[in-house]
Amino acid sequence: MKRLVFILAIIPFITSCLKYSEPKSLSLSGLYVIDKITTEDSIYTINDVFFDSKKLIVPDTISYIVGDTLCEIDYSTIRLNPIQGGLNWGKEYFYFVHGQRTTYDLGNIVFDCEGTSRIWKILDDSDESLTIRIPSNKDGNWAVLSLTRIGP
């Protein structure tokens, strides 16, 4: 009888377990178009012009046409400002992903931009879209970029 009680008592411990979930493999590589920009005071959608006077995204680009501005990301480089057909790029930044620890925290894109370190938080990375939060600068301004993948 003692043996039966012991076996019945230990069965829940043996059969119950936590599911292990590995951090998601990021698929950042691709050609993207900026579909939406959300700031602390406005939402910019297709055909709106976002004037980046606070230099949130990158310091040397002043305006972005939402729905028309392209961005290319490969496994180590972020490219902005396509010149004449998109084969040549105006700006190129080398990045690495840091801080991807759990399935819910996708990490940060960290890169050096014109002498300053930039950290973009990856909020969502799906097959066809990418959402990035650009944290607030010293003035408390922030932005969220919603990108849609249009190419490999």
Closest CA to 118 of 107, 104, 129, 108: 108
Contacts for 77 with CB less than 8 Å, ≥ 6 apart? 92, 93, 94, 95
Return the CATH number of the domain spanning residue range 21-151.
2.40.128
> Would you list the domain boundaries of the chain?
21-151
Closest CA to 44 of 23, 26, 65, 58: 65
Question: Which SS3 state, helix, strand or coil, does residue 88 take?
Answer: strand
**pLDDT, one tens digit for every residue, the chain (152 residues):** 778 888 888 877 777 666 666 667 788 889 999 999 999 889 999 999 998 888 888 877 678 888 888 888 988 999 887 665 556 787 889 999 988 877 778 899 999 887 888 889 999 988 899 999 998 777 778 899 999 999 87
| Token reading at 50 | 């976002």
Considering just the CA atoms, what is the radius of gyration of the chain in Å? Answer: 22
What is the residue whose two structure tokens read 């790029």? 89
